[in-house]
């Protein structure tokens, strides 16, 4: 579990705590509520399209597609014995390329306060600890916040097959010699693209 060191500074009082942890099956309902509470624009950017069945998406993330090479991190705020999900990051690896695709979101009220960077750092640490050597994501060209976050985290920006989208890549470890097709796209994991 990642304890965010600046949690008290961010929340402004000593009774709140923010941490990042791996989501489990028991988190399906809370993750679905979190997705449902995102603004239209944040949700559209997160899923790169219009989605509505949040329970199914959360179930797919945490139960149906649960495999050793996939994980979801959630950022959680604990306050007065209550817990609220305020951000998430999903990761899935393509076993042919050894590259992982990720998607990330932070609830609207917490954006631009460094939580996206903290989630992305935690995701990279987890990917490295699992031995995965690369990470990539895609976002709409209009998504300045995500582009800024990716650049700040050391991702290189590249073209995508989709003209509306840019791709960002980062090498985490040196790949084994026999891995071919390092730019082969992994299956799109995070929902429809309208
Ligand atoms: C992208 C997202 C995860 C970033 O999370 P966050 O908590 O806001 O990220 P951070 O606060 O760590 O960093 C955001 C950076 O964007 C910058 N930023 C914010 N608005 C910006 C804008 N309009 N143009 C350029 N940069 C902008 C911030 O200044 C900050 O950079 P800084 O730390 O150098 O000042 C969040 O905005 C989000 O959830 N968006 C909706 C979902 C989404 O777009 N997901 C990405 C697709 S997978």
Q: Where are the beta strands (DSSP E) in the chain?
A: 2-3, 16-22, 70-79, 82-94, 99-106, 134-140, 156-159, 165-171
- Whether residue 188 lies inside any domain: the answer is no
- The number of the ligand 1 atom at minimal distance from the alpha carbon of 139 is 47
The pTM score is 0.86
Domain total of the chain: 1
Q: What is the pLDDT of residue 179?
A: 53
Give CA–CA dist 85/67, Å, rounded.
22
- Whether residue 194 lies inside any domain: the answer is no
- Whether residue 50 lies inside any domain: the answer is yes
- Whether residue 53 lies inside any domain: the answer is yes
**Mean pLDDT over the full length of the chain:** 85
pLDDT digits (tens, 9 = 90+) for 112-143: 999 999 999 999 999 888 888 889 999 999 99
User: Of 20 and 97, which is predicted with more confidence?
Assistant: 20
Give the domain range for residue 95: 2-171
The percent of residues above 70 in pLDDT, for the chain, comes to 82
Our mutation pick for probing the ligand 1 site, out of 114, 120, 140, 145, counting the most ligand atoms within 8 A of Cβ, is 145
Is the CB of residue 118 below 6 angstroms from any atom belonging to ligand 1? no
> Can you name the residues that pair with 137 across neighbouring β-strands?
168
Give CA–CA dist 178/181, Å, rounded.
10
| Cβ count within 10 A of residue 103 | 23
Helix, strand or coil for residue 186? coil
Band of residue 186 on the pLDDT scale cut at 50, 70, 90: very low
Our mutation pick for probing the ligand 1 site, out of 149, 151, 152, 155, counting the most ligand atoms within 8 A of Cβ, is 149
- Whether residue 159 lies inside any domain: the answer is yes
Give CA–CA dist 167/177, Å, rounded.
24
User: Of 9 and 105, which is predicted with more confidence?
Assistant: 105
List the residue whose alpha carbon is closest to atom 46 of ligand 1: 46
- Whether residue 185 lies inside any domain: the answer is no
pLDDT digits (tens, 9 = 90+) for 53-105: 999 999 999 998 888 889 999 999 988 778 899 999 999 987 777 789 999 99
CATH number at residue 41: 3.40.630.30
Q: What is the pLDDT of residue 176?
A: 64
- Whether residue 180 lies inside any domain: the answer is no
- Whether residue 182 lies inside any domain: the answer is no
């Amino acid at each position: 579990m990642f304890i965010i060191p600046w949690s008290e500074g961010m929340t402004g009082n000593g009774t709140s705590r923010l941490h990042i942890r791996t989501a489990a099956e028991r988190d399906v309902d809370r993750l679905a509520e979190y997705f449902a509470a995102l603004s239209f624009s944040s949700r559209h950017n997160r899923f790169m399209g219009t989605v509505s069945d949040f329970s199914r998406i959360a179930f797919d993330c945490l139960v149906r597609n649960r495999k050793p090479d996939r994980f979801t991190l959630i950022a959680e705020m604990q306050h007065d014995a209550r817990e609220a999900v305020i951000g998430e990051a999903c990761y899935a690896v393509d076993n042919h390329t050894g590259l992982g695709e990720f998607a990330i979101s932070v609830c609207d009220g917490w954006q631009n306060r460094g939580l996206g960077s903290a989630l992305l750092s935690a995701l990279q640490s987890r990917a490295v600890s699992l031995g995965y050597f690369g990470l990539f994501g895609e976002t709409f060209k209009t998504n300045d916040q995500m582009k800024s976050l990716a650049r700040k985290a050391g991702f290189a920006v590249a073209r995508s097959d989709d003209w509306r989208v840019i791709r960002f890549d980062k090498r985490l470890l040196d790949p084994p010699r026999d891995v071919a097709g390092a730019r082969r796209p992994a299956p799109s994991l995070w929902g429809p693209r309208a």
